[in-house]
Amino acid sequence: MLSPTKKLASMTGYSRSTISFDGANVQCEIKSVNSRGLDIRLRLGQGLDALEPQIRRMLGDRLTRGSISCTITLQRDVGGAELVINQQALGAVLDAIDALSGKIEADRPRLDGILSIKGVVETREAPMNPEAEEKLQVAIIAQIESCIDDLLEARQQEGARLSDTICARINEIENLTNAAHAHPSRQREVFVSRISRQLAELNDTATTLSEERLHQEALLLATKADIREEIDRLYSHIDAARSLIANGGPVGRKLDFLSQEFNREANTLCSKSHSVELTNIGLDLKSTIDQLREQVANIE
């Protein structure tokens, strides 16, 4: 039996951290869900656009699959902010007042009312000096690195839980393959009896068949009924799946390919079966393989 391993990683994970640095609060949030490849989406706070290439490299260097959503929010201390009149917005408001003054009987608005209109007065953050800005960016990069560490840990923890289920499904596939291999319908005496009966029926319905043609038909019937190759390939796929899991790493695509191969052999086994019991084993195999594929789809 295959023992569980903690080397697999899921594509699902979440991490979040918040730091305060030199009058600024920075929040980093990274979410990861399933994807066929690596899809990185960034949402960066104002003034952080220059960090985008580096952040993408950091994520790409440490993740191989998954849809990654990374959001960096930056809030600076407003204590050093200054109020600025947006001249363009103010001009538009005054023009509107002049245009309406001759059409509507109303007192002209007071100054405090005009200034309270959204967009007329803006709050602008006092710029940091270059040295402080550089230190802030270094702190943000370190924070993102730590957040990626937490995301990887979350993905590995989920991968460990998934590996238990995957190992159980592979063990179940092995048990069903053993049952198919040992099924009485595959015994030589039963096999020869069935072929002989089919040949007799064929000979009764087609008396003109030559001995050579009967021999060819016998070989064809035997080939159609023989599931040795399917059994051997199932065992081979089981060994390959266990080897991939034992080695760990980003093996999700390879496990998914093996799941398809498992299903191919189970389909062929069912089509060749001449026994209700053996067909039921093949159907149970297909059901277990489907369950395996559902779990494998979450693996990095």
The domain locations on the chain are 13-79+128-156, 82-124, 158-296
Share of the chain above pLDDT 90, in %: 52
Q: Which residue's entry shows tokens 């199932």? A: 234
| pLDDT band at 88; cut points 50, 70, 90 | confident
Low-confidence winner among 60-64, 82-86, 211-215 (lowest mean pLDDT):
211-215
What is the predicted pLDDT for the residue at 200? 64
DSSP string, 163-200: HHHHHHHHHHHHHHHHHHHT-GGGSHHHHHHHHHHHHH
Q: Which of 42-46, 81-85, 142-146 has the highest mean pLDDT?
A: 142-146
Torsion of CA 39, 45, 47, 53, to 10 degrees: -10
What is the predicted pLDDT for the residue at 223? 54
Nearest-5° Cα angle at 15, 41 to 48: 45
Q: Which of 73-77, 147-151, 275-279 has the highest mean pLDDT?
A: 147-151
Per-residue pLDDT reduced to its tens digit, 124-142: 665 667 787 888 899 999 9
What is the predicted pLDDT for the residue at 3? 45
224 pLDDT more than 70: no
Mean local confidence (pLDDT), 47-66: 94
| pLDDT band at 217; cut points 50, 70, 90 | very low
Low-confidence winner among 75-84, 127-136, 185-194, 264-273 (lowest mean pLDDT):
185-194
300 pLDDT more than 70: yes
Mean local confidence (pLDDT), 175-204: 68
185 pLDDT more than 80: no
> Considering the chain, what is the average pLDDT of its residues?
83
87 within 8 A of 122, measured Cβ to Cβ: no
What is the predicted pLDDT for the residue at 193? 60
